[in-house]
Structure 1
Amino acid sequence: MSTPSLPPSSPPATPSRSRLIRVGWLAGLPALLLIAAAAAYLGLSRVTAHLEQQASAIAASTGEGQPEPWLRVTVSGRDLTAAGEAPEASQREAVVARLAAIEGVRRFTDRTGVIEEVSPFVWSVERPAAGRVEANGSRPAEVGAFELAQRLKPALPRDATLSDHARAARGAPRDFPDAAAFAVERLQDLTTGAVATLNDTVISIRGEAASVAAYDALRTALASPPQGYTLGTVEITPPVVADFRFGVARRADGSLELTGHVASESAREEIRAAAAQAAEGAAIDDRLRDARGLPQGVDGPALARFVFRLAGLLHEGRVAFEGAAVSVEGNALDAGAVTEVETLMRDARPAGVAAGRVALTARPIVPYVLRIRRNADSVTVSGHLPDQASREALLARLNPRFFRESIQDRTRLANGAPAGLAAALAAAIDPLSTLASGELTITGTELRLTGTSLYPESAARLGRTVPRAMPPGWNATVSVASDEAPAATAESGACGQRLAARTAGHPLRFAPGSTALAPEFYPVLDAVAALARACPGERIEVVGHLDPAGAKPEAQADPVADEAAKEAAPKPAKPETKKDAKSGKASKGKAETKEAAKPESKPEPKPEKTEAERAEAGADLARARALAVVDYLQKAGVPLERAAAPTGVAPLSDRQGIGLNLRS
């Protein structure tokens, strides 16, 4: 019997062989992992594609009867996120249930809502970065998100995209897309961080302008908001410029031109107010552009005041702030103004402002200009006068005639005044004092009086009297208007009421001892004369008034009139002289006599008047005053037989003043 043979036994493993086996397993493991990952990825991709297909079909179904599907679904692997606003709660619940039931969904996030009525309807856009615009708040449910985005796309800043985080809602105002596009378009001219908001029909904008040109474009665009919408809060900061400038140029006609930059609207208002004061009634050409960038440490208002102070010393020229320095050039008002400019530039510059170039000349003053302007509460005198005596004489004449107003003297002294200047002033200041507001301008030998009179009769009278009162070689132009129409013919009863209204609050009181009409009488008497012409059946009776007890006659000095008289009066001839035949020395003529050499005898004191004599003198003075008023009324056009000072009527007291009454 044979014995079965056994297979040969394996040779014992060696260390090198074991290492080869391990290396083979390690080399194949990555391949196995790649195969597993690929299988998982392909499987997940198929699941994701399946979820996207199912979700897209559900989202598309929500567009039936709507501007566009209201449901938006995002798929990430096996996770779903739903957003949007359903027209009704039942539709939302149905859609959410369908999404949650999709096979293969691991996590479902519901961010949907239901469209609601909101009030106020608020929508805003912000520019957080140069290339992005974000919308928030509420957008109209009647306009789909895609359609609104398409409407806004042309208005977006260049290379910017829109991120719409707004929620659909009801209650939007009419033409909302147009207003939204208007708001978005304004962001083109603003830097990052700008915000535009629609609150119902009110558009508000906040931000910083990107440039000077952009700021100007914004101001132009905001002047015409969409129809049906208004502007709310607009807070647009001017841009910052590297070359901040400010300049004032005075033209030959006295007008001012403002150039350069202004940091805010409030600063512009302050500058224009200062310019109006410096221009003294002349035109102002505002060419300032809004911008910031004033050097650090420079006080803007102080700089503006300094510039206008320098400009006030120019007849024609320019003051400019550029490169942190102020320069002045042009023709100064006079030789003294050149020194004043140099002193101001040396001692009065604001902190942080350097002294620039000063190039001034002082030409002869042609034409010679003097201006007196009367406002509601002040009288401003500017221009030139020949000397200090002329200035003091002019102020002495103005003070009593404008005692209610403050008088601001800005005159300068310079040669070149035309002959007859004092006489022309004497003839025109009184008419100026009768106006409610006005201006007296002397340019060479041309005088112009403009303004507004309380009564049309005064305006007409000044047009006749002022030109006739001018000294030889002078011309006068009067342009005085009145807001009140000439009185029409009135009934007898209404005439008395009108007279009381015209004279109420305007008592006519003569200076003690005087029968001369004061300038403030003229407007009242002109109105009374016009009333008399409108009431042909009435007769005006004038009663004079007495002086206060113990009053002394006032000396009515008029320095300007005295100076005018000196100009007009012939110069006194030199006294005749003759040589003594014996001595050969010159001796005075007959003007000096022995009788003149005698000592003057003291006048004998006059006896005091009795009470009756004083009363008679007072009555005579009162009647003389009444006759002076009657004479003026007759010159103003009242017929002789309808204005009189009746005899036998007791004079009125000083407190009552002149009495004016109508008699049928």
Structure 2
Amino acid sequence: MGARWRAWVLALGVLAWAGVAAFTLVTARGPIEEDLTRNAEAVLARTGESWATARFEGRDATLEGESLAEEARAKVRASLANMFGVRAVHDATTLLPERRPFTFSAVKDARMISLDGYVPSHYALARIVAAVKASGNGLTGQDRLVRARGAPAGDFAGLVEFALTQLNRLPSGRITLSDGAFAIEGRAPDLATYGALAETVRGPLPYGMTLARFAVRPPVASPFVWSASREGDTLRVSGFVPSDAARAEVARAVAEALPGVTVRDDTHLADGAPSTDLWLKAVRYAGRLLAQAPQLQVTVADSTITVEGSAPTFAVFEALAAARKAPPEGFQVTRFAVDPPRAAPFTWQIERTADGIRLGGYVPSEEARRLLSDAVRSAFPGVSVQGEMRLASGGPPADVWGAGANFAVAQLARLRIGRIAASGATLTLRGEALDSSAYQALTKAMGAVPAGVSATAEGVEPPRISPYVFAVRRDGEGLTVSGFFPDEKTHLALLAALERDFLKEKVNDLSAIGGGAPVGFLPAAVAGLSGLARVANGELTITDTQLRLSGSALRGRAASEIENELKRDLKSSFVAETVLDVTAPGALVGAQECQGLISDLMGRGTILFDTGSARIDRHSLGLLDRLAFVLQRCPSAVVDVSGHTDSVGEAAANQRLSEARAVAVAGFLADAGIARERLTTSGHGASQPVALNDTEAGRAQNRRIVFVVKEGRGP
């Protein structure tokens, strides 16, 4: 009794101690986590990696934050792992996305500055925001600044502070940093500011910065623009002139070039023009252009000229295009956007001949002409390209025309000779394909014509093959198809014949499409395949109108039957040659193995009959030859041949039909050399279905011949 009492006391003591320990752990966990968190913050601050934060569960730390480099992540992990009291560190930090180029922009409008782009850190962001506020400007777009990797080396915030200082010299403008390149644009309030700013940014820049663009305009008319727009008998002149004398000279030049036209002058005086003499030459040049077309606008801006409008005739368009190439001294035509006359219909064509490529018809623009020329030369390197394509309006949208032209060139490259004609956005392809692969690629491409474009390739023919060869080889690996077929419909018919006449054998189809097939090719090929189906191993070859069938028949009489059937089925234009021997008998097997061989054959094929008849379909002769070959290997076995039908029709008629079909099969086997005393027949009509008769597939399964092989007395 005393020992039991001491045991109880000891157990209660252990439980009390465990409770106290658990309570101590629970109550101490919070202070431990707080202490570790403070220590971690201090460690991260000392290492300069304040982007990271540590969250503790007990003594296990989880690191969080976005890092600028993988090295920083490793540094933070190591710092925390070495901290006293930390048991484990789980790294949940991520790398900031890298941006190339690393861009930053600031736009000043009145007293507001809007920021956009990337910054490398919260520290840099804080400095940039402080710099904007210190300038006395309002701030927008701070939320559009995104932290990212890829900032140029050095003090990125210093780069931005320098750029903002220059921006603050302007009443409005923009600064842009792209990697280490600095760009500034806007308008200076006065010449002194412009000069000081230009000197600053074009001199040595801090922090390794380079000047990418200086687009600050001085306080003058810049660009110095003069524009004249004609609408029939009215001419409106706007922009700037350098002096009143120049304005008067402009009026005289316009009156000489366009007599009887009413002029509305809305120009203003301004500085910034080129040399007045040169500038007046440009104005007179504009007057000559305006005199040729009633809908035209000519703009002179600094030393550039733009011409926009429409030409009433091809002759006027060509005259304007020629003048475009001969601008006055000191000027260049940088934009020529004159719409040519309308072509209806808008047609064009590309032709490939033995001598090269010929182009013709219309293009919607010079850019389209250039792109088409580049596409043709790329697709046909070293080939002569001739012909001219005239500019015209009235075509499809530029993107649709361009997509159609590129598509056309790609297809023409697949033709040996051919022509692609277009009317609007409709393409018509004609010609002969380079080869079978090119023909198939072109045919496939017709299903992926670009949006907005329609195309037809009915006039494209496959490559012409001579001599025209088609072959099927049958061996232990299956069927290998090679050579050519004239069209996809014929190809599908040949594959269907292989599926029907052969016993689900593997088909390796290496054939390709090709033109030049002899008349009657498909019937001849199908007849040849029927013969090939009755040989063990062999090959069917068609060369033009010569058909050759070689191989090993499964029984002696089958060789002559195959030859006779082939000659009977071939058209008079084809000549058949058969080279057939007889396969040696197979090794003898017992009834059980014989049944397995028979079941395998019947699992891969079906004995077919004419509809409602006991006449065996000729396409089943290959299967029957193989059944006879197998039964010769088990001469001691007896075979029951039973017929079955579906449930369609009267039961008595189905019974008679099933019996007759069994007798027909047994008769074929007997003629093939299987002793009649080994064969028994029975008919079961529709009494033993193996599938439901409510579908055609089910009824087809129920129309069958079943073989049961049993051991007999031997031969």
* TM-score (structure 1 length as normaliser): 0.42
More strand by proportion, 1 or 2? 2
- Greater relative CO (CA pairs within 8 A, separation 6+): 1
Structure with the greater alpha carbon radius of gyration? 1
TM (normalized to structure 2)?
Answer: 0.40
